[in-house]
Amino acid sequence: MELRQLYYFVKVAKKEHVTQAAEELHVAQSAVSRQIHQLEEELGVQLFIQKGRNLQLTPVGQLFLKRAEVVLTDLERAVVEIHEFMDPEMGEIRLGFPHSLGIQLIPQVVSEFRKLHPNVRFKFKQGMYPSLIRDIVKGEIDLAFISPCPEGHEHVSGEILLTEELFAVLPPNHPLAGEHAIELQKLKDEEFVLFSDGYSLRPLVWKACLEAGFTPRIGFEGEETETIRGLVAAGMGVSLLPEMALYQTGPLQPAKVRVHSPQVTRTIGLIRRNTQKLPSVAKVFHKFLIDYFAERQN
């Protein structure tokens, strides 16, 4: 069994399509098909079945995928650890974060860190709350910014870095757009633009509305901060967003108004897998982040 066969197998399993996998691997489709066929012959099992134009894993293929991913992840970490052992300043940090932090926070902290450690590389992975925790547990990323910070998790530990206020975002021509601060209850008759299920900001907004005495009417749902902000700016409804998600310029921007009753906040934490020691370079970055946010809280 060759390592290349495992790489090809995992890629085809993820893409569910040989042609797309070959394009991403930058090899010929025939080469991918040949390696998969040889792998199946060596194992004596069928890993895929045809389903329309796509390939679908068989039950034994699903089992093999889990093991193959572990092998490849461990190998990747071994290579990184060797490089770090030779020179920690040349290592790679695998960092996860939700989309809403990618606008301002992540570029800011990475830029500051790179001023001190210019040769350290970063591998980013964006995701929702459940996927970030899963990636930490599986060892696919070293550290992850997450909101809220999980408590009492069996495999994940972390600490809160900061608490951030959420603002009401309104269409520019909304009657309340010029107010300094409003009670959330004043938006009870509005249609809300919310994140889809699975995004941590959705239950925060929902809970705040219930505390204000009403159930929000959902007009639109989205999966990215830019979508929520753009729909609100276009007059499609109102929403609540953290301040760092509002650092944008352009012709179509919503109005930002502070909410004082109830005040709505979210915590942002940094998590890691508690059953495995952090790589040297990730440990340096972890300490940098703790100190960085501690200084800004004082």
The pLDDT-based confidence of 195 (bands split at 50, 70, 90) is very high
- Report how far residue 253's alpha carbon sits from residue 7's, in angstroms, rounded to the nearest whole number: 44
What pLDDT, on a 0 to 100 scale, did the predictor assign at position 298? 62
What pLDDT, on a 0 to 100 scale, did the predictor assign at position 4? 87
- Can you give the residue ranges of every domain in the chain? 3-75, 86-161+267-297, 163-266
More confident residue, 90 or 10: 10
Domain 3-75 architecture: Orthogonal Bundle (1.10)
186 DSSP 8-state letter: G
From 294, 235, 270, 291, select the one nearest 101 (Cα to Cα).
Answer: 270
Query: Is the pLDDT assigned to residue 205 strictly greater than 90?
Result: yes
pTM of the predicted model as reported, rounded to 2 decimal places: 0.67
Query: Is the pLDDT assigned to residue 233 strictly greater than 80?
Result: yes
Q: Which two tokens stand for residue 176?
A: 């309340």
The overall average pLDDT reported for the chain is: 89
In CATH terms, 86-161+267-297 corresponds, of 1.10.1370.30, 3.40.50.300, 3.30.1520.10, 3.40.190.10, to 3.40.190.10
The pLDDT-based confidence of 226 (bands split at 50, 70, 90) is confident
The pLDDT-based confidence of 250 (bands split at 50, 70, 90) is low
Please determine whether the domains at 3-75 and 86-161+267-297 fall in the same fold group of CATH.
no
Report pLDDT digits (tens) over 164-194. Answer: 999 999 999 999 999 999 999 999 999 999 9
The residue assigned the tokens 């009403």 is: 214
- Report how far residue 285's alpha carbon sits from residue 298's, in angstroms, rounded to the nearest whole number: 20
**CB atoms near residue 6 (< 10 Å):** 20
Kind of pairing, strands 217-222 and 191-195?
Answer: parallel
**Domain 163-266 bears CATH identifier 3.40.190.290:** yes
